[in-house]
Amino acid sequence: MRVCRAAIPVLAAVLVLAATPCAFAVPPPPPKPSDQEIQDSKANRDAKAGRVGELTNQLAAAETKLIDLQAAVELKMEDANKALVDLDNARDEAAKARSLATAAKTEADAASAAIAQVHKEVDDFAAASFRQGSTVGSITAFLGAKSPQDLLDRAALLNAVSGSQIDALERMQRARIEQANKESLARAAVNTANEKQTAAENAKRVADNATRAAEQARRSQAGEAAQIEAAKAQTEQELTRAQAEVGGLESQLQRYREWQAAKQREDEERAKQAAAAAAANKPGGGARPSRPAPGRPAVVGGGPAVVIARALSQLGMPYAWGGGNAHGPTRGIRDGGIADSFGDYAKVGFDCSGLMIYAFAGVGVGLPHYSGYQADAGRRVPLSQMAPGDMLFWATGGRIHHVALYIGNGQMVEAPYSGSRVRIAPVRYGGIVPYAARVF
């Protein structure tokens, strides 16, 4: 079989390509996402991000309202505690008044009984004198007198005999009047004490009802905040998936572009090799050039700090009223009200001032377990000059009830309220006091 000489170079090139190492082989192309698919995924991602921002603002507003309601609950709880103290005092006062009234009545009854006894003795004396017809106490002793002097002598004798009874009767009469006056004053004191006790009981009922109403409002707001937070968490998950989708499509497009570049390099290499093979097999052709090496892919290329670090190390720790000390979280205590309803006494964690105690203990600063006293623990600076490591405070009616630690960039770390956990949150300016406490 004859082969045309003109076909020899082409055949040689084919044989050379057939012998090309597999390092130059490019796999099948990956799927290429369309521009519309990428655009739609980005639009979906941006919409989710916008929704997350919207829910974040709603959650911040809801939590600000929740903090205000929590402050109202705390004030109502204090009012209820005051009413309870007043009621206990009123009950003690009423009990003492009733005891004094009982004693006064007993003394008055005794005085009346003594007077009755003296009356009986005088009556018995007069009756005995009358029966005996003697000069002692008998009316006949006066009627039988023979002269005025005799009458006077007999009267003196009668007085001498009965004077002790008569004097005793007068003394007992005065004593009875005094005891009657004391009994009257004691009854008046009982009435006044009972009125105070009734008023205190009414005040306690009003305070308890106000506390329950405030707590119901706080619980309702907490439920609303929880719903918003759940929606925010759900949307954040959707945003994560949307971002992954965009990233997946962009990665897929990048892989396709890398495949294109590799395919182009392979085609160029094959063309060069074919041309070199054809040239080498031509009559009088020069020596076969060596094959170039395949190309390589391009290579793509403190004090306040200690306090803040200690506070941030407790993120996620449960809120426990009365919890926290210089060594870390502790079991909460009972408050007889709201904190108990959340079971804070059975939780290990921090309240707002307890978290500050732990944070500042890291630099050897001891703080009292009361936010109102912590406000005086350092130098006061205007809010416009607050710096990381400063303590921020919130008050209602001039009474401080919450503290948080400023960490910079408009953020703070706090233990907010019963049922929550230690968290980072934007600084809330509603109800904030106009200064920060700077310890350093």
Residue type, 147: S
Q: What is the rounded CA–CA span in Å between residue 135 and residue 21? A: 164
Element (H, E) at 414: strand 411-414
Element (H, E) at 175: helix 148-280
Nearest C-alpha neighbor of 409 from the set 394, 431, 424, 393? 424
Q: Give me the pLDDT at residue 232, please.
A: 83
In contact, 403 and 374? CB cutoff 8 Å = yes
Q: Give me the pLDDT at residue 346, please.
A: 96
Q: What is the rounded CA–CA span in Å between residue 391 and residue 369? A: 14
Q: Which of 63, 215, 401, 402 is catalytic?
A: 402
Nearest C-alpha neighbor of 20 from the set 267, 264, 260? 267
Nearest C-alpha neighbor of 84 from the set 200, 212, 206? 200
Task: Give strand pairing partners of 426.
Answer: 411
Q: Which of 63, 74, 215, 414 is catalytic?
A: 414
- Grouping H, G, I as helix, E, B as strand and the rest as coil, residue 33 is coil
Q: What is the rounded CA–CA span in Å between residue 374 and residue 365? A: 11
Q: What is the rounded CA–CA span in Å between residue 387 and residue 438? A: 8
Nearest C-alpha neighbor of 319 from the set 306, 300, 333, 309? 333
In contact, 439 and 386? CB cutoff 8 Å = no
- Grouping H, G, I as helix, E, B as strand and the rest as coil, residue 123 is helix
Residue type, 334: R
> What is the SS3 string spanning 133-158?
CCCCCCHHHHHCCCCHHHHHHHHHHH
Structure tokens at 2: 């004859």
- Residues 6 or more apart whose CB falls under 8 angstroms from that of 176 comprise 108, 111, 112, 115
CATH code 3.90.1720.10 for 303-438: yes
CATH code 1.10.287 for 50-230: yes
Q: Which residue has the tokens 């655009």?
A: 39
Element (H, E) at 213: helix 148-280
Q: Measure Cα distances from 238 to 58, 251, 390 in Å.
A: 18, 19, 37
Q: Give me the pLDDT at residue 423, please.
A: 97
| DSSP conformation letters of 74-87 | HHHHHHHHHHHHHH
299 burial level (CB within 10 Å; 0-12, 13-18, 19+):
exposed
Q: Is 369 a catalytic residue?
A: no
| DSSP conformation letters of 268-336 | HHHHHHHHHHHHHTSTT--PPPPPPPPPPPP----HHHHHHHHHHTTTTPBB-TT--BTTB-EE----S
Torsion of CA 402, 405, 407, 411, to 10 degrees: -10
Q: Which of 63, 107, 352, 401 is catalytic?
A: 352
Averages of pLDDT over each 10 residues, the chain, 440 residues = 42 43 57 83 88 87 85 77 83 89 83 76 63 50 63 62 65 80 86 90 88 88 90 88 84 78 76 72 50 35 88 97 96 90 95 97 95 94 95 95 96 96 95 95
Q: Domain segments of the chain: what residues?
A: 50-230, 303-438
Contacts 24+ apart (CB under 8 A), 185-194: 185/104, 186/97, 186/100, 186/101, 186/103, 186/104, 186/105, 187/101, 189/97, 189/100, 189/101, 190/94, 190/97, 190/98, 190/101, 192/97, 193/90, 193/93, 193/94, 193/96, 193/97, 193/98, 194/94
